[in-house]
Amino acid sequence: MPTESTSTRAPSGARSLEHPDRADIRLADVLHALADPMRLRIVRVLAAAEDELNCADIELPVSKSTCTHHFRVLREHGVIHQLYRGTAKMNGLRRDDLEELFPGLVDSVLRAADLQAGRLGEE
């Protein structure tokens, strides 16, 4: 039986990226994606944004290819959605999907990350 996809679909003819359906997102995969400091930084920025952000809008102290890797891991593990708008790859946090599957997880992780950043003077 097919599962309903909650991921954003690209318009016909546009480049699209593979996203897991909500039903296929697993806690271990989400936690793995969030365990990396660069990926956690991306999620914190996306959570604070009012809208989707272009990859280039999120500054990371790593190479472009490493940034691409981190965004791909987050997408493939169901933490973010990505879609192309023209040549820009836009990113958004899959907060609704994650909240439905793992209530309170995203808010708890973000709160803990903020506390850690304050404790370590990283803000």
pLDDT, tens digit, 9 for 90 and up, residues 86-104? 889 999 999 999 999 999 9
Q: Residue 1 is encoded by which pair of tokens?
A: 């039986």
pTM: 0.85
The pLDDT score that the predictor gives to residue 5 is 43
H/E segment holding residue 99: helix 95-101
| Residue-level pLDDT at 10 | 45
Dump pLDDT digits (tens) for 6-52.
444 444 445 788 999 999 999 999 999 999 999 999 999 999 998 99
Does residue 123 have a pLDDT over 70? no
Helices marked H in 35-83 — which ranges?
A: 37-48, 64-76
